[in-house]
Amino acid sequence: MTATIALLPAPAGADAKSDQTQITELEQRIAEAGTQVQQLVVSYDGAQAHEAEIQGQLAAVTAHLVTDRRAEARADETLRRAALNVYMSGSDDDAALALFKGRDLTQIDEQEYMQVASDRIDNAIDADNADKAKTQAAEARLRSAQAEAEVEVHKLAAARQAAQAALTSDDALLAQVRGNLQALLAAAAQQREAAEEAEEKAMAAKAAEARSAEAVQGQAAPPATITFNAAPGSYVNPLRGINALSPERIDQGVDYRGYGPIYAIGDGVVLSTVNAGWPGGTFITYRLSDGPASGLAVYAAEDIDPRVTVGQSVAPGTVLGTMYEGPDGVETGWADPSGDGNSMAMDAGQFSGSNSTAFGANFSQLLASLGAPPGIAQNEPVTGSLPPGWPTW
């Protein structure tokens, strides 16, 4: 078995989408490489066990050969004694006499002994020689198998090392691509925030200009009187269904990133769903009809696909819309109850494009009391103040 893991090319840093694709491919490759390494480890362990088994068998055969040699030596000794007995008995057997006449006993070979040994000794030697030959053949086979096992172990060790090296390289490349993606996303987020801030500053400037023109013409409307009456009821976290929820700044309301369904805080009636002046064009407003803020209006705006219509009654389980991963995120806060498409902070002159307002901070506190992460204040103290009797959390 050999490692066949190919590395992906280094990231070019082109865009976040290509990096996301490369990360997915790398994660898949790493998972496959991990499986391959595990298989190689199992195979390597099995080969080592097989090699150890062969070594054990070889040791047993070697021991058997030692026993055979001892048996052969004993048989030789028996033959010598048999021949000596023939000689000492005075036999005229010329072959027996020839065994010892003028010769050293250690020089007498097996063939000469067999000429004077009994049939029983002959059979013993034949059996011993056959057994020895069989054992030697087994030893030869085992040594061959041992050599093959050693080769396999070395191959598997090399394959495992190569697979592990490829896996390590892929891990390093994945970290590099992820770092590149994070840098791209951070840069995109900065650009997005700058664009959003510019949009909101333009919106604030336009609203201020309109108020100024009305004042010059003597048509400025008196400050709206906000009336609300606390009623039985309770509120729930409207962001509980958002995936990858991440809080951002407090401004007119509270900004968030993420994707998924956004719910109504409590019972109410929808006043509006669109406002072309807002980033993304969505501005869902509903007037609460129960709870401590009954009579006040809540908005959810920007990157949301509306799922409600004007005049529709909503409840805490009602999905107002689906937040998508767009350039602006989502903003939610207190809307002007008149349904003019503005936030309370905007109509109260608290917002200049990037600052945290009293109305935004108050809504952030409400969300935090319901279990959502609070927004991030941009300035302390926040700009403006709340009307007398405004509910706090």
pLDDT at 207: 63
Q: How confident is the model at residue 7 (pLDDT cuts 50, 70, 90)?
A: very low
For domain 222-369, the question of CATH label 2.70.70.10 is answered with: yes
Higher pLDDT, 25 or 381: 381
- Residue 117 to residues 77, 98, 299, 305: CA-CA distances in angstroms? 11, 14, 118, 110
pLDDT at 58: 75
Residue ranges, CATH 2.70.70.10, the chain: 222-369
For domain 16-184, the question of CATH label 3.90.25 is answered with: no
Least confident of 84-93, 251-260, 344-353, 367-376: 84-93
How many angstroms separate the CA atoms of 354 and 200, rounded?
7
Residue 143 has pLDDT above 90, yes or no: no
- pLDDT tens sequence across 40-72: 778 878 888 887 888 888 788 778 777 777 776
Residue 114 has pLDDT above 70, yes or no: no
* DSSP structure class, residue 349: T
Helices (H), 217-287: none
Q: How confident is the model at residue 248 (pLDDT cuts 50, 70, 90)?
A: very high
- pLDDT tens sequence across 190-204: 776 676 667 777 776
pLDDT at 12: 46
Which run of H or of E encompasses 72? helix 16-88
Residue 320 has pLDDT above 90, yes or no: yes
pLDDT at 5: 39
pLDDT at 155: 79
- What is the share, in percent, of the chain residues with pLDDT greater than 70? 74
- The mean per-residue pLDDT over the stretch 239-248 comes to 96
Q: For the chain, how many helices (H) and strands (E)?
A: 6, 9
Q: How confident is the model at residue 344 (pLDDT cuts 50, 70, 90)?
A: very high
How many angstroms separate the CA atoms of 272 and 322, rounded?
16
Least confident of 14-28, 117-131, 255-269: 117-131
Residue ranges, CATH 1.10.287, the chain: 16-184
pLDDT at 22: 74
pLDDT at 21: 80
Q: How confident is the model at residue 97 (pLDDT cuts 50, 70, 90)?
A: very low
- The mean per-residue pLDDT over the stretch 331-351 comes to 92
pTM of the entire structure? 0.52
pLDDT at 341: 86
- pLDDT tens sequence across 174-189: 787 777 777 776 676 6
Which run of H or of E encompasses 94? helix 94-100
- pLDDT tens sequence across 365-375: 999 999 999 99
Please give the backbone phi and psi of residue 194, each rounded to the nearest 5 degrees, phi first: -65, -40
pLDDT at 82: 66
How many angstroms separate the CA atoms of 169 and 275, rounded?
51
pLDDT at 333: 98
Q: Check if the beta carbon of residue 361 is closer than 8 Å to that of residue 249.
A: no
pLDDT at 189: 64
pLDDT at 51: 77
- The mean per-residue pLDDT over the stretch 13-36 comes to 74
